Amino acid sequence: MTYQTLDVQLDRAKNTDAYRHYLAARESVLRMLDEAERNLGGVSEYWTEELAGFNYILDASPLIVDRLREHSHHITGIRSYEYRQHHDFRKTGFLKKFIALKELDHANLFVQESTILGGFGHDLDGRFVNLDTLKFYEYLIGLDSQGFLDEFKYSPENRGVVAEVGPGWGGFPYQFKTLFPNTTYVLIDLPLTLLLSITYMKTAFSDTSVFVYGDYPIDELPTQLETYDFVFIPHYALDQLELPGLGLTLNMVSFQEMTSTHVEDYVKRAFDWGSSHIYSLNRDRSRYNSELSSVSSIMAKYYETTDVNVLPVPYFALSNPLVKEIPTIMSRIKHPRRTLRSVKRKIKPPPGKAVNMAQEIHKYKHVAGRRKTDAI
């Protein structure tokens, strides 16, 4: 790049919708950060450390915003470097994992990575895929296996309300809204992380209706909730938030980084809102998190929980998935003999190992929760 081309690129990036969305979102987020400090809206030690390395995003240049996905590695740990052409030899693992998941997909739930804001991935026969893409695909398949997507699939004319705690840069909301457009999607997160997701979602869905905390008093939101496509709420405003009509509450790989108090606050709030279902993909506790007891045990206070076996390897593992059919309600009715039959193996299964119960709490697992009549 030269001085001349830099000026051209900067002028182009300054005049994009994405940069305008970023500037507006930054104003909202700065107000949230001020309010969070006044209200002592604390987070776990893990997130305090992680966010300290991410503050620079508050002063992002137009060119950084133009490649915003490059900077989501602070949240996901996934970098575009790993998907450049000299790493194409790794595509085989991604393809095998995708095929294994496709075998379990009864509802055409795959959504590829978008190319907006520097989206990256391997090209798998015309499908743009990275580890996030496969994680979200696996999560959708798990949701569907429990019937948690039925209201969105079979009654698309009815407006659904979904809340995700810790949606990060916005990748899963992007997939869900692509599949089920008649949805009000509520994103609850730390203010600094909302800067990413607000910018990403408003860029990806340019004609959508959006509420960002602070647009007007939050106690006026319930009567207007279903008029919005996306609702962005900072974590410290949880007690002020009401979500009438909420059917599904989601969390993916962030409960495990919170304190027990924070996880219970979210799960209890979902219960109080009347959320019929809650779905988690987390470790019960991260190895380095001494502030958390167990995600699934906290969920079980308010929801009847079921462990969901999608693949017998964690979402980040690209080798050795032994694929089995997930028993769904419909498969039990239509094909009772086939419900528990193994699907064709795509890769040899991993060698058996003795179970170390002390390590089980650190393994990733899908947990589906159905609302109890009364909480414990």
pLDDT at 328 over 70: no
Average the pLDDT over each of 51-60, 251-260, 318-327 and give the range with the smallest value: 318-327
pLDDT at 50 over 80: no
Confidence grade of residue 44 (pLDDT, cut at 50, 70, 90): low
Rounded mean pLDDT of 351-362? 61
Whether 219 contacts 174, CB under 8 Å: no
Whether 165 contacts 262, CB under 8 Å: no
Compute the distance between CA of residue 271 and CA of residue 166 in angstroms, rounded to an integer.
17
pLDDT digits (tens, 9 = 90+) for 362-373: 889 999 999 998
Average the pLDDT over each of 120-129, 165-174, 179-188 and give the range with the smallest value: 120-129
Amino acid at 107: A
The C-alpha torsion from 318 through 321 and 323 to 324, rounded to 10°, is -130
Amino acid at 162: V
pLDDT at 265 over 80: yes
Instruction: Return the pLDDT at 83.
Output: 81
Q: Could you tell me which of 28, 58, 55, 76 has the C-alpha nearest to residue 210?
A: 28
Instruction: Return the pLDDT at 156.
Output: 84
Percent of the chain at pLDDT above 70? 86
Q: Could you tell me which of 251, 263, 268, 265 has the C-alpha nearest to residue 295?
A: 263
pLDDT at 353 over 60: no
Rounded mean pLDDT of 14-24? 95
Instruction: Return the pLDDT at 337.
Output: 45
Confidence grade of residue 357 (pLDDT, cut at 50, 70, 90): low
pLDDT digits (tens, 9 = 90+) for 200-243: 999 999 999 999 999 999 999 999 999 999 999 999 999 999 99
pLDDT digits (tens, 9 = 90+) for 276-326: 999 999 999 887 788 899 999 999 999 999 999 999 898 888 865 444 555
Whether 157 contacts 182, CB under 8 Å: yes
Compute the distance between CA of residue 183 and CA of residue 174 in angstroms, rounded to an integer.
11
pLDDT at 330 over 60: no
Average the pLDDT over each of 93-107, 135-149, 248-262, 313-327 and give the range with the smallest value: 313-327
CATH number of 3-371: 3.40.50.150
pLDDT at 332 over 90: no
- pTM of the shown model: 0.88
Average the pLDDT over each of 34-38, 42-46, 87-91 and give the range with the smallest value: 42-46
